[in-house]
Structure 1
Amino acid sequence: MNRVCFQLQVKPDRIAEYTARHAAVWPEMLRALKTTGWHNYSLFLRPDGLLIGYVETESIDAARAGMADTEVNARWQESMAEFFVDLDVPPDEGFLQLTEVFHLEDQLDSLAE
């Protein structure tokens, strides 16, 4: 399982509404994420709007492609696009993927070998 971290920037004046929408994500969107390989998926939001996402998946490309094939994802991305700064593509296509530089369990496992 791969760990993927990404960032986006939420417009500061839209943070409250963005947070409210994520308090009750559409059930069909939740099911689609699970079905297409998004596991242990979390979003973290800083007070200035910096959004950090984390997901575990076999393949982020396959997980994104799977969601792209769902009708609910098209509706969700369209409804969420207005919340982000400087984004001219759907949010799930415009995030900046971060590079993992440390993982405790990986290093502990290498000690045991």
Structure 2
Amino acid sequence: MARAAFVLTIRPDKVEQYLAAHREVWPEMRAALREAGFRNYSIHLSGRQAFGYFEADDPAAALAAMAETEVNARWQDRMAELLEQRVDDDGPGLLPEIFRLD
């Protein structure tokens, strides 16, 4: 199991819409994430910065599997209007881990 994290910036006038979208994530998107190998996936908010965290056996493979799904492309298109920069279908750039307390 590996951990992965990313940060996205929400447009200043779209924060509430971003939050609303994530209160109602499509069932087919949830299913695709699980099938791709995402586990323990959460998104946290600090101002306009959305910090995402997930676990997977292989985060790169999980992102690649999501890139192959039609629902992911539709979701990224929907989120594009809410974010400063559209997330590529193959996923956001992952952050390097610099500290872990086990």
**What TM-score do you get using the length of structure 2 for normalisation?**
0.90
Q: Give yes or no for the alignment of 1:98 onto 2:101.
A: no
SS in 2 for 1:84: coil
**Aligned-partner SS, 1:16:** helix
1:74 equivalenced with 2:34 (yes/no):
no
Displacement of 1:93: 4.4
Tell me how large the CA RMSD over aligned residues is: 1.5
Higher share of residues assigned helix: 1
- Confirm or deny that 1:55 pairs with 2:54: yes
Count of residue correspondences: 102
Instruction: Give identity over the alignment, percent.
Output: 45
**1:5 partner SS:** strand
* Amino acid in structure 2 at the alignment position of 1:95: P
Q: 2:63, 2:91 within 8 Å by CA — same for their partners in 1? A: no
Aligned residue identity for 1:22: H
Gaps in structure 1 of 5+ consecutive residues: 106-113
| Contact kept in structure 2, 1:2 and 1:56, CA below 8 Å | yes
Larger radius of gyration: 1
Q: 1:27 aligns to what? A: 27
Which runs of no fewer than 5 residues in structure 2 stay unpaired?
A: none
Instruction: Provide Cα deviations, 1:58-88, integer angstroms capped at 9, x if missing partner.
Output: 1221111111111111111111111111x2x
Distance across 1 between alignment mates of 2:89 and 2:41: 13
In 1, Cα distance between equivalents of 2:5 and 2:87? 17
Distance 2:56 2:41 in 1: 9
Q: 1:91 to 1:84 in 2, by over 3 A?
A: farther
Query: How far off is 1:44 after superposition?
Result: 0.7
Aligned to 1:109: none
Letter in 2 for 1:100: E
State the one-letter code of the partner of 1:96: G
Q: Which amino acid aligns with 1:84?
A: L
